[in-house]
Chain A
């Protein structure tokens, strides 16, 4: 990379390194962003993308390396310094106060004392000119996730940045909302602004990005023009080797199979002012099939999972039936004893206790179902049996770890997820309910988990998968239903489902407009 300043280069990074303890999160990273380009930063979870952009935005300090802004060496000590230079950032997780209006939230971050009314007027004008209509007077708590993201983007644009960093912006959007965002980004590019676009979604990177920098294990493994690459060649650069495609054998005889999980008119009042009520949800999952539930995050999926798992009980015992018996009044332990297994979205602190060993985390969900094997007379834990069972799961799921029986928190997200899924698969449950099975999991591990879920279904179990990842649902589901605002659409058989149809439902089109043909059989 040339040291001479090239007037088309906005930001140049040389040898940027960040070390956490023994982990080198970023290892001599070079990056070059030109004026007026959309530059993709690609990489799997844990590849160092977030660490890199946090250093660019001043919220982390590099151990070594240089940053040049318009050819001048700079030190970005804080987000304030980054903003002053002209770097703006839209985070993946929003930092908005739900009880305040959009304009008030924007005013909080501007911190320049201008009156709310003028900020609201500016925000409104800006939002319409970029095709991201926003009502600055509306309460954030009432807005959809896509609208909240608009607030973050407008907030960033009001500071007239030269470089805008977007961290996984489409992960919370419907396909249609994403299209709108892409139009806005192209518009910004035509005005000469630069965009650093972080994603692991290869199709959208190919569609809108001019150049890409690929990170793997903290190192830059390549710079490329994504338009000249294929999705699989990009994936190969990210992962380092070929990812095995998931094989889904056609489901046979499902129409006549018994419904192992039967949800009838499930309704739940909101537990807090900002949680979503569940409205009359009906769903059957038959032996042998995988049903996927799509939806933008925060549309009631978490509430639905809690209700089905029994972490929250139902008033009407018949609203959740497992293997033909009422389970609505049973606790999660009671439902497990009927043959059901559950994998929640949060790994640390929900699916696993972070500071406990893997063997203890095995006991966490299986102390009752495997009571005979794991708990002896007088309530004594048979730690030998628990340990050998946990080793069996570790081997079956190829869980990589640094010690024989490490604490859950010491594993990487993907490896812990493999263990948590494996812990339930090991029981051969007849009903499996999984929320976000591969969230934050690298491609290789994700393929492994998806394949295991399909095989569980084909061996005669009912599998229900809640996911925000549409690609994943299309890969593994026999039918896809969509959750929107606490309501569930009828499942669309996979042969009839398209991204467009599902996307419309995710955006709130009339649920139930498509008949589930399996349902009527």
Chain B
């Protein structure tokens, strides 16, 4: 009989903390190679199609930016939550609600045009996402419910609500029965950055601005300090006079607003109307982005680009090799698994404990050490 025990390391290696995402990426590649081989595809050519070809031309980089923008926007908001030890798993739902609320203007007032339309839509999108995120925050602070469960379950409510809207009350009457709203008028479309080169729109700029703003918040401002204190030692936070309930609302509203902004940017930019499905799981993939980026906004920008590539690669291998684009989900899952695994092994080491008396003269037991 053997059992495994995690023993806390006396000190963390700074080097490996920094290397962890890269090691995780390397392990994902190895595991991915095994997966491609099992699928009967030459791993090398599959990787070329998956990771290289989708970004070999300028217009493809624009596609990458389109996919990365919502991931980065959502992930920087989530990084604040996670740093505060608050677990908002429902960004996907806040994304959808942001898209719905922001679309009220182009759907109900198609005649309303001008430069005010877009800022109003974006604002409403943020309000919608924040309001939806306020529900789990309220439930947690009022009734002590677990925010992981409530925020996650609200995702499905939001998705079904959108589905009902576009099939029912919000359906385009001239749409030949297709489940979608009318096309937004030109004032409601997020402009492209360089229309001649590719489709990338202002959503990517929003994402970069949000990353810089959150970085300043977390590293330079008292509020960011409050987030870090409450997240790492709540009792010390209470001693500092910081309120945990206020922090729950702050983190949920902030991340909800950013997810909502991502949602309305997506429908007013890349899509141009509401339809039953507006996200390939951005809200969930952003959780991976946040951790792969070490919960650091600048790291999240890089991680967002990597994860965006897994989406593009999935589409590429589907069309080139006939493999399901669910491969993208597998890659994303492996990345999260390996990055969390690496992080755990940086903080702890594994000890095998045999039930017979161990002869481990060289290995001092460290768990008693402080």
Contact = CB atoms under 8 A, between A and B. Distances in A.
Interface stretch (A34-42, A146-154, A172-180, A364-372): A364-372
Given A311-B238, A356-B228, A364-B239, A61 B233 contact: no
Interface in B166-207: none
Interface centre among B220, B243, B360 (most CB of A within 10 A): B220
B225 A21 contact: no
Nearest to A364: B240
B229 interface: yes
B11 A333 contact: no
A344 interface: yes
A360 to B, nearest CB: 7
B233 A379 contact: no
Interface string B250-281: 00000000000000000000000000000000
A20 B370 CA distance: 9
A159 interface: no
Contacts of A367: 222, 225, 240
Given A21-B10, A379-B222, A60 B365 contact: yes
B3 to A, nearest CB: 15
Contacts of A379: 221-223
A356 B237 CA distance: 12
B193 to A, nearest CB: 29
A365 B222 contact: no
A381 B220 CA distance: 6
A19 B233 CA distance: 29
A192 to B, nearest CB: 31
B357 interface: yes
A59 interface: yes
Contacts of A21: 10-11, 369
A415 B240 CA distance: 20
A192 B357 CA distance: 32
Contact of A355 (B232, B239, B240, B364): B232
A336 interface: yes
A323 interface: no
A363 interface: yes
Contacts of A508: none
Bin chain A's interface residue count. 35 or more
A158 interface: no
B229 A349 contact: no
Given A77-B357, A333-B241, A356-B229, A350 B236 contact: yes
A331 interface: yes
Given A353-B229, A379-B222, A381-B221, A20 B366 contact: yes
A309 B222 CA distance: 22
B235 A350 contact: yes
Nearest to B223: A379
Nearest to A21: B10
A416 to B, nearest CB: 12
Contacts of A331: 241, 243
Nearest to A64: B361
Nearest to A386: B225
Interface centre among B228, B358, B366, B369 (most CB of A within 10 A): B369
Interface centre among B10, B223, B236, B365 (most CB of A within 10 A): B236
Interface in A347-388: 349-356, 360, 363-365, 367-368, 375, 378-381, 383
A448 interface: no
Interface centre among B223, B238, B243, B366 (most CB of A within 10 A): B238
B225 A381 contact: yes
Contact of A353 (B232, B357, B358): B232
Interface of B: 10-11, 220-223, 225, 228-229, 232-233, 235-241, 243, 357-358, 360-361, 364-366, 368-369
